[in-house]
Chains A and B, each alone.
Chain A
Amino acid sequence: MHIVVCIKQVPDTEELPKVKIDPKDNTIVREEVKNIINPFDENAIEEALRIKEKKSASVTAISMGPPQAEEALRRALAMGVDEAILISDPVFAGSDTWATSYVLSRAIKKLEHFDLILAGKQAIDGDTAQVGPGIAEWLGIPQLTYVRKLEVKDGSIVAERALEDYFEVIETRLPALVTVTKEINEPRYPSLRGLLLAKKKEIPIWNNDYLKLPVDKVGLDGSPTRVIKVFIPKLPSKGEIIEGDLNQKAERVIEELKKRNLLRWLR
């Protein structure tokens, strides 16, 4: 069994105050912040490794991004994935979710064989949740999104999807693509042994000379989405400062809570 995990390198949200947006093309300036593997993608890696440990599968991590995305792949190797491939070419820069899922799907097609593709439910930077499903569409395989529990059977999988109001248990044949939520597992840390092995491991870079994709389907020019403006919304402060002595303030608070039906139990 061969599992492909799609991962994305994202800015560490703990360093969010430092994240800047390039006013020229409305993309994130990545050079100055610490980068991490998108946390949901770490869950995808963990799930792949757990399947590997149970079913003796091999796991390949792929990532599309600038050269420094190699760090994310190295971390995936240190966690225990077998192979890693970086898909990187200046012509891919600025790809939207349509173009990114196209490039990733073509890269996956280049692999000899795959049974299962795993990805996080969304990336914490763009938050689109579109690339995973996009890959499945380009490959014409079933997609199961927002999966919080996964069971691999012979030639099929059974997944529990966390939907807004209910859970859905669904089975599908393989190959298929699954995007996972953080509830599915707790990602492991790399071991020192894994870390040192990963350091020495070669990570092939697949550029467009190798993938030979039409340039009108990739990069900023190949992307149907146009980002017109990216900005941090200014939320008007709606807070109200309640004045008066302690009793008056308390009464006002109770009144407001009652108005919102938040004190039903207080009779």
Chain B
Amino acid sequence: MNFDLSEEQKTILELVEEVSEKEIAPAADQVAEKGEFPQKNVEKLASLDLFGITIPQEYGGLGMNYLTWTLVAERISQACATTGLIFGANLLCTFPLLNFGSEAQKKKYLPPLARGEALGAFALTEPEAGSDAGNVQTTARKEKGGYVLDGNKIFITNGEVADIYIIIANLDKKRGARGLAAFIVEKGTEGFSFGQHFKKMGLEALPNVELIFNNCWIPEENLLGKEKRGFRIAMQTFAAGRIGVGIGALGIAEAAFQKARDYAKERIQFGRPISSFQAVQHILAEMATRIEAARYLLYKAAWLLDQGQNFEKYASMGKLYASEAAMWVTTKAVQVLGGYGYMKDYPVERYMREAKLFEIIEGTSEIQRNIIANIVLRE
């Protein structure tokens, strides 16, 4: 067992940390407050080649592994959770393209995604299809050498800003989840438009948008993988996405922990820093422990993915544990900062609002427990 980072990873992380600390973190409050898409951050990540980390060199990327991607995403999320999720949601487009796309599809779509010139998104969620992911009502029907999509998607991360969308639609409603197929839809396609921009409790600058398909024809070559294999593509993509969502939660937890620790060392009550009180010390100890535990579950998931082994169990465990750790750590961080923690002048109340999302997206905590239980009962 080896926990060392490679020289290459160290070099990359040094740069990512520098940019995160100097450019991304200082703007995080403003990004959240304004609620505007952080275009500058996305351009910065693109100029650093970060969008191409896991994309093979032949498609314009750097051809590195998912563990490296995970380490990078962790640092970005710690600096700005919104930027971290934009970065993560992009993976939900590149991952299925890489794993299920044809050579022509990879050649066409991956290079602009690798360069960060195009952003990606993935859309399954609908009003009636959340945890019940198989219940997709958006339909696809064969027509004129292609497919016609009809229906609405909601809450789609990177919606409207993204250029390339992976859309899950139902080709055969009688077959339910087995009738699903995945399609590549480009922004600007006729019949594809954007509806509501959903207002959220936190992460206001993260686009979560309604996608509307109204008699939207796409050519045959935009079918991703095979017909009626859409559910499998979605499930595999979600599994990989859980590493990204978990790492986003971990980043928030780390940011909250650091704020709480620094504050506890400086805040004087009863004539001494509150970090000298055992009640506060135990909170900090628990925070640090949960963060470390979450971190290594997620690293293991990424490592398994890189080895081509089953990573789904660890991805679910990591996502579940990291998101619940983030909720706990951020809530306690507000407690450590007391009255100041509840004020908007400090970022910890924002971290707490942001953390909640992570227990819901990419499969709720309850769905994660179902997945884990299913796997461990089979083992």
Contact = CB atoms under 8 A, between A and B. Distances in A.
A192 B11 CA distance: 9
Interface string A123-151: 00000000000000000000000000000
Interface string B1-32: 00000011001100100110000000000000
A192 B44 CA distance: 12
Interface string A176-198: 00000000000011111101100
A165 to B, nearest CB: 33
A199 interface: yes
Interface residues of B, number: 15
B227 interface: no
Question: From DSSP, what is the main secondary structure of chain B's interface residues?
Answer: helix
Contacts of B15: 189-190, 192, 195
Contacts of A191: 47-49
Contact of A195 (B12, B47, B53): B12
Contacts of B18: 189
Contacts of A189: 15, 18-19, 44, 47-48
A192 B47 contact: no
A182 B62 CA distance: 32
A188 B47 contact: yes
Nearest to B46: A191
Interface in B38-72: 44, 47-50, 52-53, 62
Contacts of A193: 49, 62
B28 to A, nearest CB: 18
B98 to A, nearest CB: 18
Contacts of A188: 47
Nearest to B72: A192
A130 B361 CA distance: 59
> Which of A191, A192, A193, A196: most chain B CB closer than 10 A?
A192
Contacts of A199: 7-8, 11
A22 to B, nearest CB: 28
Nearest to B64: A192
A192 B12 contact: yes
Contacts of B47: 188-189, 191
5 contacts: A189-B47, A191-B48, A192-B52, A195-B11, A199-B8
Interface of A: 188-193, 195-196, 199
Given A189-B18, A189-B48, A190-B15, 13 more contacts: A188-B47, A189-B47, A190-B48, A191-B47, A192-B52, A192-B62, A193-B49, A193-B62, A195-B11, A195-B12, A196-B11, A199-B8, A199-B11
